[in-house]
Structure formats: structure tokens, C-alpha cells
Amino acid sequence: MNDLPVVSPLTHLNEEEKFFYDTVKDLAVEKIRPYLKEMDESAKMRPEIPKHFFEMGLMGIHVPEELGGAGANFFMSVLAIEALATVDGSASVMVDVQNTLVNNAFINWGSEEIKKKYLPQLTSSKIGSYALSEAASGSDAFALECRAEDKGDHWELNGQKMWITNAAEAEIFIVFANVDPSKGYKGITGFIVEKGFEGFTVGKKEEKLGIRASSTCELIFEGCKVPRGNVLGEVGKGYKAAIETLNEGRIGIGAQMVGIAQGAFDAIIQYVKEREQFGKPIGKFQGVQFQLADAATKLEAARLLVYNAARMKDAGMPFLKQAAMCKLYSSQAAQEITSLVIDLMGGYGFSKEYPAEKYYRDAKIGTIYEGTSNMQLQTIAKFILKD
């Protein structure tokens, strides 16, 4: 079966990157894989798993060392997200949100005082969450109904947020609200809300198709008191912080989708070597080989799009179009590849006793969150059609 196509991310990495990828993958195999079925069925992350992430430094990968982080680059965060997703998309998205959204927002928009106060907590012990979406504000991200009112010595938040990742475990939340609806999106401001703040409640948890162990909850603000100093960036500039952070976050989602597709692909390669029909392994049939070759090519293309966007971000180059492309393509490729894996495994692929169906369910969210595929197409079109 040596003629079967196999995709390895390690061919695109230097020795340091390879070692890091392998180390994170080993963590996922040893500490997460044994509990996949339990966590998927209970829709709950085992509490020791985030502790492993903190101990390994995965919750502050590109946070400067003086603020408690590992001081690595953004690309290393992308590698960690991908490696974890080859085993579990839920665990992967916890690390993804912490690094590409929450930490990035603090690094790029927080005052020195804010950074010194919160980043050491986020890198060592506390999970963060990024709260932008609302019931009426999805793709139209700035149609926010959550309001913030200046009360002199503090801000008061009122409203709800929906579909917020990591909400059940998080202790630090970045929340976007409008301080002046008459100004439209120019009234949007970012606030830092701690779990224990008066008037703040984490609401019901969503029952989801995939990434079930990743918590997705509503947030409720009823006269929530936020200290005046807990504004992230400038008042009225939250829309810029939200957009720019999401641009980076899309690369993380791309990495998650590549990891999910890789995990499913690894499973089917092993399967076609062992499953026999008509007297020989099904991987010997040209029809199966061609489908695997096509899947391998899509996986390779998706990975290179993600890596290119991440490296451009690290190089300080414009990367918005590349981020949209990698998110668009990798999410589509992950759905196609995981679906193919179920087809090739037949009845076994449709059974919960095998990993294929979970990869398939986990992949579906990729075309939806942090910007739907239509929104990515719109962004790409703007770049290719501009004068």
C-alpha cells in the first residue's frame, strides 16, 4: 500500500516547528483521545484538559514572555490548533479562541495596564471568551443591540450575546456593546467583563451537531457593572478591534479545519489498507485510490493556504484576502474529505463506534462561525474587483 497518497504537514515545517507540532499532537493523543466519546456524548470538556493546555503553554503561545506567554509567533499558534484538531475539534477551538481572538485582542488593543493585568492570567490559569454575536447580529456583525451606558464611575451593560464559544469555562470575556446607537457602528466599544461582575450571567448552553465538548452559551447582561478602566481600546473604536481580530481568527479556524480533515484522512488510510472486498484491500482499487488522491490534493491546498496566511500575518504583510481564502477553502475541503471518509468506510463510517462520523460533524461548523462562506466570498471579491 505504499502507493497510497499520504499528506504530512511536517514536510512544510522546520525542525523547531516539527517538534512543536509533534509535541502538541502527542498531548492530544495521550490526554484527550481516550475521552472523546465521553465528552462528545456529555457535551462537556473534561476539566483537566484546559489544565494540560496551560501547563504546556498553549494558552499564550504568541503572548510576549514578559506578560507570561511563550513569546512565539502567530504561526506556532496555528500549528497547535491544527495538531489538536487532528484528534478533537472541541479541544482545538478552545486553544484557538484563546490565542487568535482573546489574546490577540488584548495584545493589539489593550492599554499597557490592561495587558499587564489580564494577559498573565490568560496565559497561566484563566480561559477567555470573545462575545460579539447576538440573535440579530450574525453576519451583520455590527447590528448590535447590547448597550453600554456611561454611569460616571463605571459602565453599565444591558443585553444578550449568543453562540459564545468557551463561555461555560471562561472567566474573562471581551464583550462588544454600543455606547451610542445614534452613531451606528461608530458607537461600538469593547469591554472586559469578568465572570464575577454584578449583573452578568452565563445563560443556557446550546446543544450542537458537532464540536459538542466545546461550550457555546448565551451571555446575559442586566445592569452589569464594568469598571471605567475596562474598556478595550478606545470608546467607539470597538468595530475596528472586532474586525481586525476576526481577520486573524479566520486563520485559526482554517487551521482547525485542516486538522479535522487530516485526522479523518489518517483514519481512512489505515482503513483502506485493512478492509478487504473481493479478495483484496479496497485501497488496491483504482476507484478508491483516485478519490484518496483528490482528497490529499485538497488537504494539501488547504494547509498551504492556511500556512501562507499565517506567515504573511507574522511578516507584517496585508493578509485579509488570504485569511478569507484559507477559511473558505479549508472549511469546504474539510466537509468534502470527512464526507468521503464516511462513504469509503460504509456502514462503519456511519457508526459512532468509529471516528469518521465525529470528524464529519465537527467539520460542519467551519463554513459558519467566524464568518460564513458567503462572507468570505464577499471579502475575496472586494479585493479582486477593486480598482
Catalytic residues: 370
How many residues does the structure list for the chain? 387
Residue 35 is given by DSSP the state G
What distance in Å separates the CA atoms of residue 387 and residue 383, rounded to the nearest whole number? 9
Burial classification of residue 18, based on how many CB atoms lie within 10 Å of its CB (0-12 exposed, 13-18 middle, 19 or more buried): middle
Q: What does each C-alpha distance from 40 to 30, 116, 276 come to in angstroms?
A: 17, 36, 30
**Contact indicator for 86, 95 with CB cutoff of 8 Å:** no
Q: Which helix (H) or strand (E) holds 147?
A: strand 147-150
Q: CA quadruple 79, 85, 89, 91: dihedral positive or negative?
A: negative
Output the CA torsion 109→331→89→298 (10° steps).
-120
